[in-house]
Structure 1
Amino acid sequence: MKEAAIHDQQTDKQESAEQRTSLLALSRRSRRNSEREEAKPESTVETAEFDAATAGRVEAGRDDASRENAAREGAGREDAPKRHRFRNWRRQRPFIGGVLAVLGGIELFFSGQLDTGNLQVQFGIEGLQATVIPIALVVLGLLAIFKPTHHVFYGIIALVLAVYSLIGVNLGGFILGMLLSSIGSILVVAWMGPRAPKSDAQGSDAQAPAAGRREDTQSAGEEGAA
């Protein structure tokens, strides 16, 4: 009986020790969980603040980029009508030929004024025509640009003066001025008249295929009805 009582006491002690260890383990686990739960809100707050800061920076960068793009688009829209108007104005007159004739007259004028102090370069006939011919070419080029209705008349006179400058103004401004004014005069004479604005031409080109499609559909419908 004594041995059984001793054995029961030992088993009771072991069970009590096991319960104490289990209670200690549970308390430690609960402390750890509570510490983790306390640490989580701080980390989530920090991450939320960091995310908000990064989102604000990204939005600010997007706003700046959108403002820059809007400013560029506004500047491009302001410049576009001016370019469009100048392009349409240029298409209504022999612009390139007139510009070349003006450049040739300017070159002829300055080629006749070569004076390096003690040395003056002069070829051909001296006199007033060395000044009159270049000025006449410049005036004819400007008239061809601003009054294109008589472009053939202006171009023929400019071509005659350009060829005559070969013997009248320093070998035609050392041939360069004669070439520029001659090519410009030929372009002025060969100008085919005013052209429609680019937008109108595109609209007519777009309307032509549409009209062809309508005719095709109408013919197909008539054939189907027959």
Structure 2
Amino acid sequence: MKEASASEQQTDEHQTDEQQASLLALSRRSRRAAERETAAEREAPGTDHFEQGTDGSGPGGAQEDAGFRHWCRQRPFISGLLVVLGGIELFFSSQLDTGNLQIQFGIEGLQATVIPIVLVLLGASAIFRPTHHVFYGIIALVLGVYSLIGVNLGGFIFGMLLSSIGAVLVVAWMGPRGPRAKKAKKSKKSHAKELGAEASAAERKGNQESVSEERDS
């Protein structure tokens, strides 16, 4: 009995050692894969710049284009631009002049110039200060809808549509999402799945070995 218990303890120790060794190997593999992916990501922009430089654009222009694209991705650029264009259209729709006849269907006064200017400022603020995009978008939406009454039928409806759609997109903006962050999330998820699968396989092997040893004993 003592010999059997001693042999069982030795087998358990061997199994634990093998499991620890397998886990260490898995961690090393995951680290190597992560290092390879980071190295590939670092090399990818350089290759893109090189290809653009061979086309004739030059490395400086390629870097500027990449920087501008990254800057646009970090803020609601297109939606803020729509709000700005809606404000400009509202402003010029209330300033139409055909000789001695001035075309203006809205209420005369300061709001025909104040509302478009405020919309332009809100769109620019949403672009350059994206942290408060919800506040700017809600105000721009209210002013865009009100322009249907106050500013020349909403700039013949086109200005109202531009500013309203842009304001909704500004409010619905979900924050900066770069391609590298997406790749990193995907790689982390895949690594976690691989580690879990390999750990479960190692546990199954250990259980099978223990069962076979118990049958032999």
Superposed CA RMSD: 2.1
Look up the equivalent residue of 1:225 and give its one-letter code: G
Look up the equivalent residue of 1:206 and give its one-letter code: S
Q: Which moved more, 1:110-119 or 1:70-79?
A: 70-79
1:203 Cα offset (Å): 2.7
**Which SS does the other structure have where 1:115 is aligned?**
strand
1:157 Cα offset (Å): 1.1
Query: In the alignment, which of 151, 156, 161 is matched to residue 138 of structure 2?
Result: 156
Q: How far does the alpha carbon of each residue in 1:62-112 deviate from its partner, in whole angstroms, 9 at most, with x for none?
A: xxxxxxx89525736544433332233222222222111000000001101
Verify the 8 A CA contact 1:105 1:138 in the aligned structure 2: yes
Verify the 8 A CA contact 1:109 1:135 in the aligned structure 2: yes
Equivalent residue, structure 1, for 2:113 = 131
Q: How far does the alpha carbon of each residue in 1:110-145 deviate from its partner, in whole angstroms, 9 at most, with x for none?
A: 101111212221102112211111000000000011
The 1-side partners of 2:64 and 2:201 are apart by 46
Verify the 8 A CA contact 2:133 2:170 in the aligned structure 1: yes
Query: In the alignment, which of 163, 166, 191 is matched to residue 210 of structure 1?
Result: 191
Q: Which moved more, 1:86-95 or 1:144-153?
A: 86-95
The 1-side partners of 2:64 and 2:183 are apart by 19
Corresponding position: 1:180 with 2:155: no
Look up the equivalent residue of 1:155 and give its one-letter code: G
Task: Flag structure 2 segments of 5+ consecutive residues without an equivalent.
Answer: 1-50, 208-217
Verify the 8 A CA contact 1:88 1:198 in the aligned structure 2: no
Equivalent residue, structure 2, for 1:50 = none
1:212 Cα offset (Å): 1.2
Q: How far does the alpha carbon of each residue in 1:160-217 deviate from its partner, in whole angstroms, 9 at most, with x for none?
A: 111111111110000000010011111111222232x212321321232133112211
Equivalent residue, structure 2, for 1:121 = 103
Q: Which structure has more RCO (C-alpha within 8 Å, separation ≥ 6)?
A: 2
Equivalent residue, structure 1, for 2:182 = 201
Verify the 8 A CA contact 2:105 2:152 in the aligned structure 1: yes
Corresponding position: 1:168 with 2:150: yes
Q: Percent identity?
A: 64
Give the TM-score of the pair, scaled to structure 2.
Answer: 0.66
Give the TM-score of the pair, scaled to structure 1.
Answer: 0.63
Question: Quick check: which has more Rg, 1 or 2?
Answer: 1
The 2-side partners of 1:70 and 1:177 are apart by 38
Corresponding position: 1:220 with 2:209: no
Q: Figure out how many residues of one structure are paired with residues of the other and give that number.
A: 157
